[in-house]
Amino acid sequence: MSRNGSNASYRGFRPDNNDTHEFIAVTDNIGGGQTQHYAQPNMQRSSGVQAEESEASSVSEMPSGDSSHRRAELKARRKLTEAKARLHARVQERSGRRLHGHAENINYLVTAAKQDSEQMQLLRRENATLKNDIIELRRKYDTLKQQVVPSVRKNRSDMPRQPNSVGLPREHEWQATESQTASRMAR
């Protein structure tokens, strides 16, 4: 990477997260301070052989002092690219396995949902028949009640008084029992 004169240009890689976008850097020595201007990066990713060919041509154009440094940089970049490719392949493989697992889970859930919906339909049918049965039983109960209640009322007037819920006789029955006990005691 030669920075000897003003307006010296070289090809390289911008140190950012965009893998291996090529760019052309122009350095200016005007005004005492050295500045770098980056041209628009090529949107094609240079990978594999294309990158090596472009790098090799740029190395041959450089002065001999920089070529060994540049070769080492190229070697390091090549290793980095290969490592990224291996990592990418590993991630693809794992994500493929993961997606396959997700697909199996989704198929299982869809099957379970279908079974649940079928079961829900059966339960709804049973519920509807039970509701109809309840309605029919209520009608029968109402008709029986209409037939039985008047006869029960008529029979109740003929029946003797029953004790109340506690089992004690009612008030007027108390008076009768008291008079009976008094007459027994007098004897």
DSSP-derived secondary structure for 79-135: HHHHHHHHHHHHHHHHHHHHHHHHHHHHHHHHHHHHHHHHHHHHHHHHHHHHHHHHH
**101-121 pLDDT per residue, tens:** 778 888 888 999 999 999 999
Residue 49 pLDDT exceeds 70:
no
* Amino acid present at 166: V
Write down the pLDDT at residue 37. 47
The parent domain of residue 24 ranges over: 1-45
Q: Is residue 156 part of a domain?
A: no
Domain count, the chain: 2
Q: Looking at the structure, do residues 77 and 137 belong to the same domain, yes or no?
A: yes
Q: Is residue 16 part of a domain?
A: yes
Residue 146 pLDDT exceeds 70:
yes
Q: Is residue 130 part of a domain?
A: yes
Q: Looking at the structure, do residues 67 and 109 belong to the same domain, yes or no?
A: yes
Q: Looking at the structure, do residues 28 and 93 belong to the same domain, yes or no?
A: no
Q: How far apart are CA 161 and CA 108, in angstroms?
A: 70
Residue 27 pLDDT exceeds 90:
no
Q: Looking at the structure, do residues 108 and 70 belong to the same domain, yes or no?
A: yes
Q: Looking at the structure, do residues 28 and 66 belong to the same domain, yes or no?
A: no
Residue 126 pLDDT exceeds 50:
yes
